[in-house]
Amino acid sequence: MTQPIRFKFYHPLFLMLIPAVAMTLSDAVQWSWFDFIVMGNLLLALGLSTSFILKKWRDSSNKWLYVFGVIFLFLVFWAELAVGIFGSPLAGH
């Protein structure tokens, strides 16, 4: 018997502790409160969308393709916000 997949909203908070601790240990990490809000929303959207995909398409062979697509979109958007790989206005150029 398989267990139902349940999304836990506190998992992104654990990932947000990494830059928070790094900010206290080093001057190399300089995040503002807005950076934490944006990254928290990105992680929350990633978690909710993957949870939705895994619930909706339990028996589909394409569900992992959808999950990897969502992860790829997350990574591209994150890279654009972090370093501006495409040079869009989102990167702050």
- State the pTM of this model: 0.79
Contact 28, 41 (CB under 8 A): no
pLDDT tens-digit map of 28-68: 988 999 999 999 999 989 988 998 998 888 778 888 899 99
Q: Going by C-beta distance under 8 Å and a sequence separation of 6 or more, which residues neighbour residue 9?
A: 44, 47
